[in-house]
Structure 1
Amino acid sequence: MAVGDRVRGRGAALLRAYAPGGDRPLGGYARALTVYASVVAGAGAAVLLTGRQLPSRVGLGDVVLISVATHKLSRLVSKDAVTSPLRAPFTRYDGPTGAGEVAEEVRHDASGSRHVFGEMVSCPFCLAVWVATGLTIGLVFAPRATRLVATCFTAVAGSDFLQMAYAAARHADTHH
């Protein structure tokens, strides 16, 4: 038996053991992990090749800025009605969820790639890893531009919070 056949056989057995009767695209997840690891390794190699120094520490201000920007950018891409054309090849519209956001169902495919990508672009938690990684890499290679972009998305998140607080206050005021 060829090595490729043995690997495929073990992969199929692993999938059956992991999700008996289920449809879990482990191969697609493995490809996504490979892409993510390649991006991180590529960024690490670029740091070495360019002679850049990694920061000895990241300031609390940057951590908060990147955290809030990651939250907002992840929700914007994964849930916002306006960005639904980006997700449409990988998801199906399920309905509105309020505050300009939509619910979507992930599409399935034989290879699992569409399903995995659909999960990543429609799940703010899944997408946040990629966004935070990109913004963190940006702090190394273009800190000023990264802080400017992160500030924009942090301001939008703050505005969203204020919009919701205003709506809640108006609702409470009309019910008293």
Structure 2
Amino acid sequence: MITISTFEFILLCLATFRFTRLIVFDSITIFLRKPFHEMIEETDEEGQVATYLHIKGDGLKYWIGELLSCYWCVGVWVSIFIVILYLNFPSIVGGVVLIFAIAGVASIIEMIVSRLVD
């Protein structure tokens, strides 16, 4: 049986949250999504611009595009990746997990503050 502390569990959750958002939403990783996604802008009669995600290709390319557009799907794979690495190489991966966990908390705080200010 695998045993981790509550603190480690929380760190892994926060690191998974941040790393998943990095892959699915952040502009710094657009190069990962660009081969599979196209953003289409349409202007309606009132001049409002709406942006839509179009997934490119078919077969495997379409499947990867679908995966990269699904926060929940990427989250599952990221959590598998992080947990396996953490359990096998805790001294190496622990620092990275801590950094992503801290960044995850910072992004949650930023979302809360942004909503309160708006």
TM-score band by shorter chain is 0.7 to 0.9
Residue aligned with 1:92, SS:
strand
Residues 72, 153 of structure 1: 8 Å contact kept: yes
Question: What amino acid sits opposite 1:127 in the alignment?
Answer: V
1:62 equivalenced with 2:11 (yes/no)? no
TM-score by length of 1: 0.55
CA distance in 2, matches of 1:86, 1:119: 13
CA distance in 2, matches of 1:71, 1:78: 11
Residues 77, 122 of structure 1: 8 Å contact kept: no
Name the counterpart of 1:153.
100
**Would you identify which runs of 4 or more consecutive aligned residues in structure 1 move more than 6 Å?**
none
Name the counterpart of 1:130.
77
Name the counterpart of 1:114.
61
RMSD of aligned alpha carbons:
2.0
Which of 1 and 2 has higher RCO (CA within 8 Å, sep 6+)?
Answer: 2
Aligned length: 109
Q: Which runs of 5+ in 1 are unaligned?
A: 1-54, 96-101, 172-176
TM-score by length of 2: 0.79
Percent identity (aligned): 24
CA distance in 1, matches of 2:106, 2:52: 22
Q: Which runs of 5+ in 2 are unaligned?
A: 42-50
Deviations 1:113-147 (A, max 9, x none): 00111122222211112111111111222102222
